[in-house]
Amino acid sequence: MRGPLIVAGVVGILLGLVAFAVPVAASVATATLIGIVLLCAAFPIAFDGFAAHHPLGGRVLRLLLAVLTAAAGIYLLVAPLEGTYTLTVMLVIWFVAIGFGRIAGGLAALGTPGASLMIANGAVSLVLGILIAEELPESSDWAIGLLVGIDLLFFGASSLWLAAEVGKEEA
């Protein structure tokens, strides 16, 4: 269990540093990656729409969802800079949600290695979400990359810390 935590920690820190150093490029890369994911997600949604177990209304809604998902993905691939505002708003929502989730997970795991660090990581994510929300729309060009970089740095550090704690228990 310790090896994957170390790898995750090192990769998280390296990616975080890159995103922190060039936040505009990281923002565009994030928008592009999300565009690819949405475009790929449209296919299984469409296949599900053709499934025989759905009534006609369900098929139409699923196919419409597939078209909208593909359109959102194509938009982000064609115009990632223009899509950064919307992505920044979505990222704010994600940071707030993941912050609450990490805090809740840490509180549920109190007494285990890494629980307090998970709570701290959740607090950092929550604060990042609130701070970037206050700076919209001016910060949407660089905020995605910077915030993702900061979150990756904290994730990497907490993974390395947890790997060290697991190593202590195994010894």
Q: Per-10-residue mean pLDDT for the chain, 171 residues long?
A: 90 93 87 93 89 73 91 91 84 90 92 89 91 85 83 92 85 69
| SS3 of residue 88 by DSSP | helix
Cβ atoms of residues 163 and 10 within 8 Å:
no
Closest CA to 139 of 83, 90, 85: 85
Within its chain, how far is the Cα of 87 from the centroid? 11
Q: What pLDDT is attached to residue 132?
A: 86
Q: What pLDDT is attached to residue 52?
A: 64
Place of tokens 């993905």: 73
Cβ atoms of residues 65 and 43 within 8 Å:
no
